[in-house]
Structure 1
Amino acid sequence: MESVRQQKVARLIQKEMADIFLKESRALFGNVFISITVVRMSPDLSVAKFYLSIMLVEDKKRFLKEIQAQSKPLRKLLGERIGKQVRIVPEIIFYLDDNVDYANHMDDVMSKIVIPKKDDDNFDSNQYPGLKE
C-alpha cells in the first residue's frame, strides 16, 4: 500500500508529465495521443513507473520503445517543472497499459456470445438443475 506522500508525489508527477506529453509530444513523437493512466512511486520516491495508454498508432510496443529512448529528455523536462517541489527527480520507467485493449477484447468476446431464448414448449428443467420453472 502506498503512503500518503507517495500518492501525493505520484499525482503531482502524473499531472506534470501529462502536460509535457500534451505540449511537447508533437515535437518528440508526432501525432500520437499518449495518456498516463497510473503512476506508481517507489517507497523512497526515487523511481516513478508510468503506465501509458497510447492511441493513434499501430505498433504500440515499438512506439513504447521510442518513448523509453526519450526518457532522459522527458525526465529533464519533468525536473524543470517539479524541481522545487521534490528533493530528487525520480527515474522514470514507462510501461504499456493494456487495460483498454483488454476491455475492448472482452467487449468483442461478450458481444459474440449467443444466449438462447427460453422456449416454453421445449424447456427441460432436468437439463438445467439450477433453474426452476
Structure 2
Amino acid sequence: MLEGKRQKQVAAVLEKDLNEIFQRLGLAMMDGGMISIASVKITPDLFDARVYLSFFKVADPISALKAIEERAWEIKRELAARVKHQLRSIPKLSFYIDDTLEYVDKMEQLFKEIKKKD
C-alpha cells in the first residue's frame, strides 16, 4: 500500500526528532555499538508508528531493543514536547530491528560464492 503525502511528512518529522532524542538520551550508543533510526512507517490514521532501528556493532541487539522499549514512555514524552504543535495526537511507538543491512551482507556473500564457482 502506498503511503500518502501526510504519512510521509509525519514519518519524516518523527524520524528527525527521534534521532535527536536518541542522541540526547544516550540511546544512540549502547553495548559498544551504535543505534540509529533506519526508518519510520506510520499508519494512515497517524495513530501508530513503526520505528525501525539499525544496530551497528551492538553486542546483543535484542537486549538493546528491550532496553529501548523500557524507555519508550520517556521517548514518547520527549517526542510529544517536540511535535505538540504539529500533530493532534502522538502516535503509539513500536520499535523493531531493521535487518536490511544483514540481508544486504548475506546477498553479497551469496554473490561472491556464485562468482567463485564460475
Superposition TM-score tier, normalisation by shorter sequence: 0.7 to 0.9
Contact 1:38 1:50 survives alignment (8 Å): yes
TM-score scaled by length of structure 1: 0.78
TM-score scaled by length of structure 2: 0.87
Choose 1 or 2 for highest CA Rg: 1
Using the TM superposition, give the Cα deviation of residue 44 of structure 1 relative to its aligned residue in structure 2, in angstroms.
1.2
CA distance in 2, matches of 1:2, 1:9: 11
CA distance in 2, matches of 1:5, 1:87: 13
Within-5 A mapping of 1:30-69:
32-69=33-70
The residue aligned with 1:12 is: 13
Does residue 1:81 correspond to 2:82, yes or no?
Answer: yes
| Matched positions, count | 116
Letter in 1 for 2:25: E
Contact 1:26 1:32 survives alignment (8 Å): no
Runs of 4+ in structure 1 deviating by more than 2 angstroms, as ranges, are: 25-32
CA distance in 2, matches of 1:59, 1:27: 14
Larger relative contact order (Cα-Cα within 8 Å, sequence gap ≥ 6): 2
| Cα separation, partners in 2 of 1:106 and 1:48, compared to 1, 3 Å | same
Letter in 1 for 2:18: M
Contact 1:34 1:54 survives alignment (8 Å): yes
| Cα separation, partners in 2 of 1:69 and 1:92, compared to 1, 3 Å | same
RMSD over aligned CA atoms reads 2.0
| Cα separation, partners in 2 of 1:70 and 1:32, compared to 1, 3 Å | farther
Higher fraction of strand: 2
Segments of 5+ residues of structure 2 without an aligned counterpart are: none
Segments of 5+ residues of structure 1 without an aligned counterpart are: 117-133
